[in-house]
Amino acid sequence: MGLLEDKTALVTGGGTGIGLATAVRLAAEGAHVFVTGRRKAELDAAAEAIGPAATPVVGDICDLADLDRLYETIRGRGRGLDVVFANASVAEFAPLEQVTEEHFDTLFGINVRGTVFTVKKALPLLNDGASIILNGSTNAGAGDEAFGVYAASKAATRSFARTWANELKGRGIRVNTITPGPTDTPGLSGLAPDAVQAADFRRRLAANVPLGRLGRPEEIAAAVAFLACEQSSFITGSSLYVDGGLQQI
């Protein structure tokens, strides 16, 4: 029997990378997983890979009507919701003098506003004792050049986890942040303009990690599964670093 047998989970941004790996892991642990994201082809492929334990729902977390439709779909299953992995986010980098309204609005619109309303609109469906996991970042407090707006959006995520853990404790609902280090995902490579620069970017990131490599999406997914299940029943308001020692050593 899996760690999440007969549970219902939601993974946002679940079509690729960490989100996809987490959806696969939660399903393997026995959960029925609702997987949402903006790209239908990726979601369909994810659902096919996972099988009948997955329900894909196309939608944008920045669109409140899409979120309402997502939660109506989950409500229709009649089992409530036990796990929310608010994973969907975007990374773009610019030094202060190059920050534009579009850059700011995109990052805060998805990473902050989208996360807030993903969780807020889930509240009526959450079963008592549910687990909410927010996707953080080691960049949140690092002060790296050109990471200002992105890091601030992830610092907001960390702050939400603490506040919501306090607000929801009466229902036994735990709220934690998963904090990945540099992870080998398609999105990471997409931050560079071409394949050669992407490979160099990945090498430079890996060189900064004490374990000497990038993380794998499956390693982040394993940590999310831990925070989602009863094995972490006395953990709330915390941030679990899965970073190869990047922020620890």
Active site residues: 150
Q: Are strands 81-86 and 54-58 parallel, antiparallel or unpaired?
A: unpaired
Number of H helices, E strands in the chain: 9, 7
Contact 122, 72 (CB under 8 A): no
Residue 198: Cβ-neighbour burial (10 angstroms; 0-12, 13-18, 19+): middle
Distance of CA 106 to the CA centre of its chain: 17
Q: How far apart are CA 155 and CA 240, in angstroms?
A: 14
In 10 A of CB 238, how many CB atoms? Answer: 17
Q: How far apart are CA 31 and CA 190, in angstroms?
A: 31
Q: Is 208 helix (H, G, I), strand (E, B) or coil?
A: helix
Annotate 124-192 with DSSP letters as a single string. Answer: GGEEEEEEEEEE--GGGGT--TT-HHHHHHHHHHHHHHHHHHHHTGGGT-EEEEEEE-SB--HHHHTTS
